[in-house]
Chain A
Amino acid sequence: MIEARDLTKQFVRSLKKGKKEEFFAVDHVSFQAVQGEILGILGPNGAGKTTLLRMLGSLMEPTEGQVVIRNREEEPVTSKPELKKHIGYLSENTKLYGRFTVRELLSLFGELYGFTKEEMQEQVEKTNALLHMEEFIDNRIEKLSTGQKQRTSIARCLIHNPDIYIFDEPTLGLDIISSKAIIDFMKQEKTQGKTVLYSTHYMEEAEFLCDRILMIDKGKVIASGTPSELKAATGTGNLRDTFFAYMEGGAEDEL
């Protein structure tokens, strides 16, 4: 389980003449996501989704608030390196080292997570079997196809067997087959009792995949609930219309 408590991120914009302006990219956001749940995070560009997810993944330090994860023994974890060990983070910005082979990359990352070399050999073989990477596991990543890279990325974020996945627009710019690999993966991990946080711009994807949805705009949560709850509350037929309803039309030109 992962919990955001009053998460806040303030950025400073530099203006002319040495003046500075502070603004909230994420403004006191709190929520929980439990085991076996896929939580969708929706919002227009610049709403603060990426900043929120970066804080949840401990890539960024919150200005205020806290991230708490409960491990399998239900003990709270709050320290930065420990949090990272429980999280698999994947975004369009988490590219792979092209000059390494898939095997080299996976063992390096696993060892950095604290596993021994021997443990990693075993783990790499398991992952290989799971994601069917036999044909390219010893190739350099720069030589792989987009689909193969995508599978390697998934392997990279599950190599340390995390309890929580954070996916920040993982399917952006991918073709249907590559996105399907990721979506299938999320569904499968959900059945394993893992928690998935998932941000996307594809409303259809979110509608059939997510157990609950968090709508955010200008750094604030403006609505949350199951897809059907949100549709009912706005009286709309699909999630796309629901989204527009919450953005009050003003966001149309932003999309």
Chain B
Amino acid sequence: MNYRQLKLLYKKEIMDVIRDKKTILTMVVLPVILYPVLFLVVMQVVAMIATTQQEQTYYIAYENVAEEDRQSLNNWIQGKEDKLDYSLKEVESDHPEADLKDETIDAYITVSKAAGQMIYEIHYLSAVTNSSTASDMLKEEIDALAKKQAEENAKADGLDINRVLYPVTAKLTDRSSNESAMGSILGSIIPFLMITSILMGSMYPAIDATAGEKERGTLETLLTLPIGNMELIMSKFLSVATISVVSVFINVLSMSGIAAYLYATMKSFSAAADDFHLASFLPAILISIVCIIAFALFMSALVMCVCAFAKSFKEANNYVTPVTLVVILTGYIGFIPNIELNFGTSLVPVANICLLMKNLLVFKYDFTLILLVLLSNVIYAFIAVWFLGRIYDSETILFGESAAGIRLFERRKNIKKGSLPTIQESLLILIVALLLMVYAGGLMSLKAPVMGVVVPQFFIGVLPILACIYIKGNGKEIFKLKLPKGKHVAASLCLFVGASSLALIVSSLLGMLFPESGQNVNEEFLTILEGVPFWAAVLLIALAPALCEELLFRGYMFTAFRQKMSVGKSILFVSILFGISHMSLIRFLPTALLGAVLAYAVYRSESLLSSSIIHFLNNAFSVWTLYYGSDIAFLNDEAYTGKIMAVLAVLTLVFLPVGLWLLREKKKETDKNME
């Protein structure tokens, strides 16, 4: 590497970017002005809402309440009036129910009496904010009144108040330090803001240095110089990284300004802030900065890789949008309560930085994980830079026409009718579907575990259909909507027996190697399906994936890969992605194997239905074993394991070749003619 040239080129890139108004705008003006302004506006609005709520007068009516009962409550409330921030005002009403519905009163009270007990019934509307606030306040007052009277009664009867009324009480003591309480509040929002600002900070310089240079026609001028590819890439990469790191620091400063302001206001209001030490955040901040720099390097290289394919600013913007989408969606991970930084998540780009910062802000320092996050970001950055080098070495990309990338962010009217899907689009759909699986699936599974499986399936099925509509694709062609021939149905049946047996053999072998994870898969499914009847389970676990997953993987994705790759490679890649998307290490191999058979069936029969049949039968069989497998004695008897495996092996060896043979026959001729 020629360092003199590198230095000159670096200087040139930095100068070129800094003299661009857009960069300055996104890098300096936005964080310095926008954040504080946004923050102040939000604070003002919150304060305004709080005051209006406090100063509010709530109107209360009584219905058929005796004068003395009414008076005792009124006196109680009025006796306390000075201490309250709000006022409860009694109004006369002849038709309280109607008035409540018209919102002329906020609540009304009826009274009933039982032995030694008086019940004030508060009638309110939960859908109306004022009414529900009024009811809360009334309830609070009545509870306080009840407590006071109970204490008086007990006293009058000469009883020990504490023994009779409060034999057991609960008291909450928050042992977390003020700092970590603050950290946990900031833990989800700060990493998210950080990641967004790094992305925004690196985006414009990256586009400018790659696609912008091509668009302005200066790339060829640069290539006439006696400089190496390495110097060229490194200078561009380092300058973009520098600018994104600088923009991070400006962001951090701007946010610290807000934090300092908050701290100052807190201090003037409460004593608690006295033992709140900003200094205790220092190690967290220092480690965060190091990790953020590593992350900024990775992000810059990644965005540059994507932009390098574009020929113009506009095109580059189109390419970057999906990256932004994925990065921001992943950045939300900090808001999900149960996802923690561990060995697995520390390797997931973007997510690892979020989770690490979240940990650091509550003073969890696990140095192995910190190192892993740092290392993985550096490695990702290296891979991205290496890839960038490959791109800049490719004359077709430097001088050639731009390829069709992702058209989902283009204007629809610019898209030609009958377009075919691209690999990039199908990958974007998969990533979005997987992210939705984590987010929506996680959320739904709180309501009902089975929903956590069904909702993601819905997305997997719907997203490719929407994409197909958007790119004006021919659905029949993309999704292979054709009835299979009788022979191909027979092939599907054979392949089901063969491929499912093979998958079972592989799973059991893997289960023997890793007994715990094998158990977990089954247990996981059993918890998900708890209380779900067999027929519903078949619909949800077998039919839905057989339709939805096929639409995405063997439909959109397989068609997309086939545009650019040979059959073998397409099947290989789609199957690997199919395996990965099941997000389980132990299920990867059997799923990918099954995926390969499914893809081959679609390729030969040219009908998505033939793979749907195999997929449905395979999953239905699994559901059946989950429900009724335990009833059949020999399946659970270890003595039979060997025999079962032998039977499965025979089934595989007989049915898989027969199925493949059925698919090959005759089709061979026409295929040859085509080639």
- Determine the chain B residues whose CB is within 8 A of the CB of A59 once the complex forms: 220, 223-224
| CB contact list, A161-210 vs B, under 8 A | none
- Interface-located stretch among B174-182, B453-461, B561-569: B561-569
A54-B399, A98-B216, A99-B20 given as contacts; is B223 within 8 A of A85 (CB)?
no
Q: Which residue of A lies closest to B227 (CB)?
A: A112
Question: B225 in the interface, Cβ–Cβ < 8 Å?
Answer: yes
Question: Which of B8, B15, B218, B563 meets A17, CB within 8 Å?
Answer: B563
Question: Which of B395, B564, B566 meets A60, CB within 8 Å?
Answer: B395
Are B224 and A18 touching (Cβ within 8 A)?
no
Question: Which of A82, A89, A104 meets B224, CB within 8 Å?
Answer: A89
Question: B101 in the interface, Cβ–Cβ < 8 Å?
Answer: no
- Determine the chain A residues whose CB is within 8 A of the CB of B226 once the complex forms: 80-82, 84-85, 112-114
* Residue of B20, B228, B395 most packed against chain A (CB within 10 A): B395
- Determine the chain A residues whose CB is within 8 A of the CB of B283 once the complex forms: none
Q: Which residue of A lies closest to B12 (CB)?
A: A108
The CA of A17 and the CA of B107, in the complex, are separated in Å by 71
Question: A31 in the interface, Cβ–Cβ < 8 Å?
Answer: no
Question: B132 in the interface, Cβ–Cβ < 8 Å?
Answer: no
Question: B221 in the interface, Cβ–Cβ < 8 Å?
Answer: yes
A18-B562, A54-B399 given as contacts; is B225 within 8 A of A112 (CB)?
yes
Are A18 and B565 touching (Cβ within 8 A)?
yes
Question: A155 in the interface, Cβ–Cβ < 8 Å?
Answer: no
| CB contact list, A199-255 vs B, under 8 A | none
Q: Inter-chain contact count A-B, CB under 8 Å?
A: 77
- Determine the chain B residues whose CB is within 8 A of the CB of A114 once the complex forms: 226
Question: B104 in the interface, Cβ–Cβ < 8 Å?
Answer: no
A60-B399, A99-B16, A113-B226 given as contacts; is B569 within 8 A of A93 (CB)?
no
Q: Give the contact-size bracket for chain A.
A: 35 or more
Task: Say how far A151's CB is from chain B's closest CB, in angstroms.
Answer: 15
Chain B 225-269 interface 0/1 with A at a Cβ cutoff of 8 Å (1 = within): 111100000000000000000000000000000000000000000
The CA of A150 and the CA of B228, in the complex, are separated in Å by 27
Q: Which residue of B lies closest to A114 (CB)?
A: B226
* Residue of A14, A85, A112 most packed against chain B (CB within 10 A): A112
| CB contact list, B265-320 vs A, under 8 A | none
Question: A24 in the interface, Cβ–Cβ < 8 Å?
Answer: no
| CB contact list, B378-423 vs A, under 8 A | 395-396, 399
A81-B226, A94-B224 given as contacts; is B217 within 8 A of A17 (CB)?
no
Question: Which of B5, B224, B399, B570 meets A87, CB within 8 Å?
Answer: B224
Are B563 and A16 touching (Cβ within 8 A)?
yes
The CA of A94 and the CA of B216, in the complex, are separated in Å by 9
Question: Which of B5, B228, B395, B569 meets A18, CB within 8 Å?
Answer: B569
Count residues of chain B with CB under 8 A from any CB of chain A.
30
Question: B83 in the interface, Cβ–Cβ < 8 Å?
Answer: no
The CA of A93 and the CA of B220, in the complex, are separated in Å by 6
Chain B 1-28 interface 0/1 with A at a Cβ cutoff of 8 Å (1 = within): 0000100110110011001100000000
- Determine the chain B residues whose CB is within 8 A of the CB of A98 once the complex forms: 216
Chain A 76-111 interface 0/1 with B at a Cβ cutoff of 8 Å (1 = within): 000011101101010101111111100010001101
- Determine the chain B residues whose CB is within 8 A of the CB of A156 once the complex forms: 221
The CA of A29 and the CA of B8, in the complex, are separated in Å by 36
Question: A61 in the interface, Cβ–Cβ < 8 Å?
Answer: yes
Task: Say how far B473's CB is from chain A's closest CB, in angstroms.
Answer: 15
Question: Which of A18, A91, A112 meets B220, CB within 8 Å?
Answer: A91
The CA of A16 and the CA of B226, in the complex, are separated in Å by 38
Are A94 and B220 touching (Cβ within 8 A)?
yes
A81-B227, A85-B226 given as contacts; is B20 within 8 A of A95 (CB)?
no
Question: Which of B221, B399, B565 meets A94, CB within 8 Å?
Answer: B221
Q: Which residue of A lies closest to B11 (CB)?
A: A108
Task: Say how far B403's CB is from chain A's closest CB, in angstroms.
Answer: 8
- Determine the chain B residues whose CB is within 8 A of the CB of A84 once the complex forms: 224-226
Are B15 and A99 touching (Cβ within 8 A)?
yes
Are B15 and A100 touching (Cβ within 8 A)?
yes
Are A61 and B5 touching (Cβ within 8 A)?
no
- Determine the chain A residues whose CB is within 8 A of the CB of B399 once the complex forms: 54, 60
Are A96 and B563 touching (Cβ within 8 A)?
no
The CA of A214 and the CA of B236, in the complex, are separated in Å by 39
| CB contact list, B116-135 vs A, under 8 A | none
Are B228 and A17 touching (Cβ within 8 A)?
no
* Residue of B9, B16, B226 most packed against chain A (CB within 10 A): B226
Question: A11 in the interface, Cβ–Cβ < 8 Å?
Answer: yes
The CA of A202 and the CA of B125, in the complex, are separated in Å by 85
Are A81 and B216 touching (Cβ within 8 A)?
no
- Determine the chain A residues whose CB is within 8 A of the CB of B224 once the complex forms: 57, 59, 84, 87, 89, 94, 157
Are B220 and A81 touching (Cβ within 8 A)?
no
Are B221 and A96 touching (Cβ within 8 A)?
yes
| CB contact list, A111-131 vs B, under 8 A | 111-114
Task: Say how far A169's CB is from chain B's closest CB, in angstroms.
Answer: 13
A61-B395, A82-B226, A114-B226 given as contacts; is B563 within 8 A of A95 (CB)?
no
- Determine the chain A residues whose CB is within 8 A of the CB of B221 once the complex forms: 94-97, 156
Are B217 and A111 touching (Cβ within 8 A)?
no
- Determine the chain A residues whose CB is within 8 A of the CB of B15 once the complex forms: 99-100, 104
Q: Which residue of A lies closest to B565 (CB)?
A: A18
Task: Say how far B422's CB is from chain A's closest CB, in angstroms.
Answer: 12
Are B8 and A108 touching (Cβ within 8 A)?
yes
The CA of A89 and the CA of B223, in the complex, are separated in Å by 10
The CA of A96 and the CA of B562, in the complex, are separated in Å by 41
Chain B 357-381 interface 0/1 with A at a Cβ cutoff of 8 Å (1 = within): 0000000000000000000000000
The CA of A54 and the CA of B223, in the complex, are separated in Å by 10
Are A112 and B9 touching (Cβ within 8 A)?
yes
- Determine the chain A residues whose CB is within 8 A of the CB of B220 once the complex forms: 59, 91, 93-95
The CA of A140 and the CA of B227, in the complex, are separated in Å by 24
- Determine the chain B residues whose CB is within 8 A of the CB of A94 once the complex forms: 217-218, 220-221, 224
Task: Say how far B13's CB is from chain A's closest CB, in angstroms.
Answer: 10
Task: Say how far A20's CB is from chain B's closest CB, in angstroms.
Answer: 10
Task: Say how far A149's CB is from chain B's closest CB, in angstroms.
Answer: 12
The CA of A94 and the CA of B220, in the complex, are separated in Å by 5
Task: Say how far A161's CB is from chain B's closest CB, in angstroms.
Answer: 14
The CA of A98 and the CA of B213, in the complex, are separated in Å by 11
The CA of A14 and the CA of B225, in the complex, are separated in Å by 31
Are B8 and A111 touching (Cβ within 8 A)?
yes
Q: Which residue of A lies closest to B567 (CB)?
A: A18
Task: Say how far B8's CB is from chain A's closest CB, in angstroms.
Answer: 6
- Determine the chain B residues whose CB is within 8 A of the CB of A91 once the complex forms: 220
A16-B563, A54-B399, A95-B217 given as contacts; is B223 within 8 A of A100 (CB)?
no
Question: Which of A60, A97, A111 meets B16, CB within 8 Å?
Answer: A97
* Residue of B16, B220, B227, B570 most packed against chain A (CB within 10 A): B220
Are B396 and A97 touching (Cβ within 8 A)?
no
Task: Say how far A13's CB is from chain B's closest CB, in angstroms.
Answer: 10
The CA of A100 and the CA of B225, in the complex, are separated in Å by 17
Q: Which residue of A lies closest to B5 (CB)?
A: A112
The CA of A18 and the CA of B20, in the complex, are separated in Å by 41
The CA of A135 and the CA of B178, in the complex, are separated in Å by 66
- Determine the chain A residues whose CB is within 8 A of the CB of B216 once the complex forms: 95, 97-98
* Residue of A14, A95, A100, A114 most packed against chain B (CB within 10 A): A95
* Residue of B16, B225, B564, B570 most packed against chain A (CB within 10 A): B225
Q: List 13 A-B contacts (CB under 8 A).
A: A16-B563, A17-B563, A60-B395, A81-B227, A82-B226, A84-B225, A89-B224, A95-B220, A96-B218, A97-B216, A99-B19, A100-B15, A112-B226
**Top 5 A-B pairs, shortest CB-CB distance:** A95-B217, A81-B226, A84-B226, A99-B19, A94-B221
Binding site for B on A (CB under 8 A): 11-12, 14, 16-18, 54, 57, 59-61, 80-82, 84-85, 87, 89, 91, 93-100, 104, 108-109, 111-114, 156-157
9 new A-B contacts at CB < 8 Å, known A14-B564, A80-B226, A96-B218:
A59-B223, A59-B224, A84-B224, A84-B225, A97-B12, A100-B16, A108-B8, A108-B12, A111-B8
Binding site for A on B (CB under 8 A): 5, 8-9, 11-12, 15-16, 19-20, 216-218, 220-221, 223-228, 395-396, 399, 562-566, 569-570
